[in-house]
Amino acid sequence: MNTGSARLMIPVFNLLALVAVGCPTAHTSSVPEAGITQVSFDFSKIDEGVTKEFMKAWNYSRNGIDNVEAVVLIFGKVDGSYFATALGQTNEINKVNFRPDPAAIAIAHTHPTNLDPKPSIEDMRVGDRFGVPIFTITRWGMFMYDPNTRRVTKIQHNLDWLDAAKWRQAHQSISSK
């Protein structure tokens, strides 16, 4: 039964974005390190509940080993805090297929370890289209495309995005700049 709701597909396989497994640093050196760029997203609001949903998505993607991806939508509560929902994976190769929620304030999704860890051109188009930050969850760190600044920033190193305390530290380093 067609309910009229649209599905959004984000293909992440991009020949220009491929990186060799084990060599991601060659492609991340031009990306600003965590804490350099101020963005409209408040990292200090990422708590244990949100990082738990990141972990669910990471597990759905088989920890980035397979070319299967998963999505997490991040929402704002009335009190200003954030909550997230992992949507799971669709078993599609190098892309995710999900129903966008207009209430989402950010979209995070996993990238396989054999792809560029930064948001792809298509990821950036989705961020621009919906006016929300796009996060990529990877073994090499977490990256964010901010449609307000049109910049990609590395916001967490390696698997630090799983630790809620690291988000508070990232917020403190941004605030002190």
Render pLDDT for 83-99 as a digit per residue (tens, 0 to 9).
999 986 665 555 566 67
Q: Is residue 17 one of the residues assigned to a domain?
A: no
Domain that holds residue 35: 31-175
Q: Is residue 9 one of the residues assigned to a domain?
A: no
Identify the weakest region by mean pLDDT among 60-64, 127-131, 163-167: 60-64
pLDDT of residue 149: 92
Q: What's the rounded Cα separation, in Å, for the pair 124 and 130?
A: 10
Q: Are strands 134-138 and 151-157 parallel, antiparallel or unpaired?
A: unpaired
Task: Report the candidate in 133, 132, 156 with the shortest Cα–Cα distance to residue 32.
Answer: 156
Residue 2 makes CB contacts below 8 A (sequence gap 6+) with none
Q: Is residue 23 one of the residues assigned to a domain?
A: no
Domain count, the chain: 1
Q: Is residue 22 one of the residues assigned to a domain?
A: no
Average pLDDT over residues 145-157: 94
Q: Is residue 47 one of the residues assigned to a domain?
A: yes
Q: What's the rounded Cα separation, in Å, for the pair 128 and 126?
A: 5
Q: Is residue 15 one of the residues assigned to a domain?
A: no
Report whether 114 contacts 78 (CB < 8 A).
no
Please name the residue that has the structure tokens 């990306």. 31
In this prediction the pTM is 0.73
Report whether 31 contacts 118 (CB < 8 A).
yes
pLDDT of residue 34: 41
pLDDT of residue 3: 46
Please name the residue that has the structure tokens 């990082």. 51
Average pLDDT over residues 20-42: 42
> Which position has the higher pLDDT, 35 or 161?
161
Q: Is residue 3 one of the residues assigned to a domain?
A: no
pLDDT of residue 25: 33
Q: Is residue 11 one of the residues assigned to a domain?
A: no
Is the pLDDT assigned to residue 105 strictly greater than 70? Answer: yes
What's the CATH code of the domain at 156? 3.40.140
Q: Are strands 141-146 and 134-138 parallel, antiparallel or unpaired?
A: antiparallel
> Which position has the higher pLDDT, 6 or 13?
6
Render pLDDT for 43-65 as a digit per residue (tens, 0 to 9).
999 999 999 999 999 998 888 88
Q: How confident is the model at residue 1 (pLDDT cuts 50, 70, 90)?
A: very low
Is the pLDDT assigned to residue 170 strictly greater than 70? Answer: no
